[in-house]
Amino acid sequence: MFLRQIYDEELAQAAYIIGCQQTGEALVIDPERDIDRYHEVARENDLEIIAVAETHIHADFVSGAREFSQDPGVTLYLSGLGGDDWSYRWPDEKTNVQYLKDGDAFMIGKVEIEAIHSPGHTPEHLSFKITDLGGGATEPVAVATGDFLFVGDVGRPDLLESAAGVVGAREPSARTLRQSLADRVAPIPEFVQVLPGHGAGSACGKALGAIPSSTIGYERRFNGALKLAESDAEGFVREILAGQPEPPLYFKRMKHVNRDGIEVTGGPVVPDHVDVQRFQELASSGAVILDGREDRHAFIAEHVPGSVCAPLDGSSFSNSAGSFLNADDKILLILENESRLDEATRKLYRIGFDGAVGWVSFAELKDAGLATAILDTVEFDRFSQAALKEDDVILDVRGLSEYDEGHIRDAVQTAYTRIAENLDSLDRTKRYFLYCASGRRATLAASFLASHGFSVVLVDGSGDDQFVRDVA
């Protein structure tokens, strides 16, 4: 049997290629939208992808299942347990799809894949037990757990409400998740590997480990959320719903895109390199300008007026685009050079933004005299609340749980991932001082507000020594 994890560092997302080396057939579990990567790994290992399986309808990236569905030689294995609201709607009579329920199994060569209904993160969620029958095994070697069970944590049950807008879904989903964990994990042998759908940094959980895989036995011993699910139902519900990070705005759209479908493109469309004149024309016609230079301090020092900071490092680019852009926006990319173009367009493509209409290097814009703006900044150790004007507003763009642990006195909290949906509630006559825990998130948010004409000042760095905690 062949097993390979394909990991997206930016989204902290894991897909898996499971292959039978005797027959040369392979399955991809939870692929992202740019499917050429999986075909390349398969070819390098003398495998042919004949099937795709999904653990659930994803919220944090566009699934590659629809792209794979264009190949008549690929069978899709999708959950048939989502009910009226969360069942797949995009497959039609031409789609080679099989819908699975609990206990259903299929073969990839001589490797058996068995579906386990594991609801709670979402109603339709499946996990997949993997048994290498061709190798003589009679018990599973691994279980692909999607967003059900992670290394060190479990899936969050609040996204149907906090991301997809299903009012009242949080607590019932948490109770369902608790029951699933208690019922579904215990029967699996402790030696079985856990292949999670995400790692540290994903917004699909709050305490995910950075280790790429684990075992059922290890998680039962040391995964605090799983241990609580098996021992204290009410305590689990309270704990799992507390302190979950606010998801980026694009999560809501992803749930609907992956349920209802998105345009098949055959891969990301690479935008043309435009000259400075064409750049200005596109910007004047309403295109959103994303500045993808890695160093946010370079953006602070000089940038094109109206551009949004979206550094191509870590999760900043996807979180900036996914929190501040609309699905139909035309996008202009500012990059350090052409070598970053494929990376930028793939990152946009993976979260459903297909509107890139051109790119240009920052050097070209600077040479043309267009990089004339700076982001007003004060370092935290020089920030004085007493020096602010009466109408100035201090805006804490960290998550609510971070704010509750301590914040600048009188600061207003709005997570940077949710600022766009609260834009109309902000007063354009006021000046906003934005801070976070390091300055990274505040830089993204300040650039976005500045691009919409707000007066902003970035409070850069860390200010723990100025934080207070409200006392009820």
Q: For 373-419, what is each residue's pLDDT tens digit? A: 999 999 999 999 999 999 999 999 999 999 999 999 999 999 999 99
Q: Give the mean pLDDT of 297-308.
A: 98
Which tens digit of pLDDT belongs to each residue from 80-114? 999 999 999 999 999 999 999 999 999 999 999 99
Which tokens sit at 85? 């609201």
Q: Give the mean pLDDT of 56-79.
A: 97
Residue of 99, 29, 415, 87 lying closest to 258 (CA atoms):
87
Q: Give the mean pLDDT of 72-83.
A: 97
CATH fourth-level superfamily of 377-468: Rhodanese-like domain (3.40.250.10)
Residue ranges, comma separated, of all CATH 3.60.15.10 domains in the chain are: 2-255
pLDDT of residue 200: 85
Helix (H) or strand (E) holding 156: none
Q: Is 256 helix (H, G, I), strand (E, B) or coil?
A: helix
- Per-state percent for the chain, helix, strand, coil, to nearest 5: 30, 25, 45
pLDDT of residue 136: 96
In contact, 209 and 198? CB cutoff 8 Å:
no
Helix (H) or strand (E) holding 181: helix 170-184
Long-range Cβ contacts of 71-78 (<8 Å, 24+ apart): 72/96, 73/48, 74/49, 74/50, 75/50, 75/51, 76/51, 76/52, 77/51, 77/52, 77/53, 77/106, 77/113, 77/115, 78/53, 78/54
Which tens digit of pLDDT belongs to each residue from 313-335? 888 999 999 999 999 999 999 99
Distance CA 390, CA 182 (A): 54
> What CATH number does the domain located at 276-361 have?
3.40.250.10
Residue ranges, comma separated, of all CATH 3.40.250.10 domains in the chain are: 276-361, 377-468
Residue 470 has pLDDT above 80, yes or no: no
Q: Residue 424, Cβ neighbours under 10 Å: how many?
A: 5
Q: Give the mean pLDDT of 39-56.
A: 98
Residue 121 has pLDDT above 70, yes or no: yes
Residue 293's alpha-carbon distances to 10, 27, 369, in angstroms, are 15, 37, 18
For residue 73, the Cα-to-chain-centroid distance in whole angstroms is: 29
Which tens digit of pLDDT belongs to each residue from 134-153? 999 999 999 999 999 999 99
Which tokens sit at 93? 């009579």
Residue 471 has pLDDT above 80, yes or no: no
Residue 73: which pLDDT band, with cuts at 50, 70 and 90?
Answer: very high
pLDDT of residue 242: 92
**Rg, Å, the chain Cα set:** 23
Give the right CATH number for 2-255 from 3.60.15.10, 3.10.20.90, 3.30.565.10, 3.40.140.10.
3.60.15.10
Residue 472: which pLDDT band, with cuts at 50, 70 and 90?
Answer: very low
pLDDT of residue 12: 93
Distance CA 301, CA 291 (A): 13
Q: What's 263's DSSP letter?
A: -
pLDDT of residue 164: 80
pLDDT of residue 236: 96
Which tens digit of pLDDT belongs to each residue from 241-297? 998 889 899 999 999 999 999 999 999 989 999 999 999 999 999 999 999 999 999
**Residue 359: partners with Cβ closer than 8 Å, 6 or more residues away:** 271, 272, 273, 274, 332, 333, 334, 335, 338, 341, 344
Residue 39's alpha-carbon distances to 137, 299, 347, 368, in angstroms, are 27, 37, 18, 42
Which tens digit of pLDDT belongs to each residue from 200-240? 888 777 778 889 999 999 999 999 999 999 999 999 999 99
106 forms beta bridges with 113
Residue 153's alpha-carbon distances to 39, 150, 159, in angstroms, are 31, 5, 16
Which tens digit of pLDDT belongs to each residue from 408-459? 999 999 999 999 999 999 999 999 999 999 999 999 999 999 999 999 999 9
